[in-house]
Structure formats: C-alpha cells, structure tokens
Amino acid sequence: TDGVNNMGAIDPLTAAEIAKEHKMRVYTIGIGKIGMAPYPFQTPFGKQYQNIEVKIDEPLLKEIAKITTGKYFRSTDKNSLQTIFKEIDSME
C-alpha cells in the first residue's frame, strides 16, 4: 500500500488498535517508488496514462506496525517484495 487512507470508514490507526485488541499482528509494506508514475485511466478513446505523484505515508505504516507489534517493510521492486514475503513467512 501507499498508506494513504482513501478507502473504508475506519481510520487506519483505529483499525490497528482493533487488530491489537484481537492479538493480530500487522505487517505493513510501503510499495512503490516515490515520485511520478504512470497511472491508467479510461477515456472515451480507450485506456490512457497520466503521470501522478506517488505518495507513501511511511509514518502511518510504521505506526500501524508498531501498535500491532508487527513490522514495517519498504519495497520498490518485485524482488524486494519477494524477499519481504519470505521474511514475513519465516516470522509466522
């Protein structure tokens, strides 16, 4: 995730507190490169791409992991994501 709260009715930190109450550990992963990236959108002429700014709310992702005694990871490519998944798998 980019950590930006753009879905759901529950604030991410509230959700983290609920997860903590249920003894759920949350591993957060900030995915993507910071900067501009092409984003697909549909137009009457078909799919087109527009460069948009990529934002990653790392402080929020780190706080969610801390509240739930999980861990925050950062991934900028497929290889690092695979390594992260292996590390999480070894912890659970």
Residue predicted with more confidence, 53 or 87: 87
Task: Specify the CATH number for the domain of residue 34.
Answer: 3.40.50.410
Burial group, residue 16, by CB count within 10 angstroms (0-12, 13-18, 19+): buried
Residue 6 included in any domain: no
Residue 1 lies in a domain: no
Q: Which of 54-58, 60-64, 71-75, 80-84 has the lowest mean pLDDT?
A: 54-58
Domain tally for the chain? 1
pTM, to two decimals: 0.78
User: Any idea what DSSP says for residue 76?
Assistant: S
**Where residue 1 falls among pLDDT bands split at 50, 70, 90?**
low
pLDDT of the residue at 74: 95
**71 has a pLDDT exceeding 90:** yes
Q: Do 48 and 2 form a contact (C-beta atoms < 8 A)? A: no
Q: Which strand (E) or helix (H) includes residue 88?
A: helix 78-91
Question: Is residue 5, in this structure, part of any structural domain at all?
Answer: no
Q: What is the pLDDT of residues 13-66, one digit of tens each?
A: 999 999 999 999 999 999 888 888 888 999 999 999 999 888 889 999 999 999
- The identity of residue 11, as a single letter, is D
Indicate whether 75 belongs to any domain. Answer: yes
Range of the domain at 83: 12-91
Is 32 within a domain? yes
Domain-located, residue 87: yes
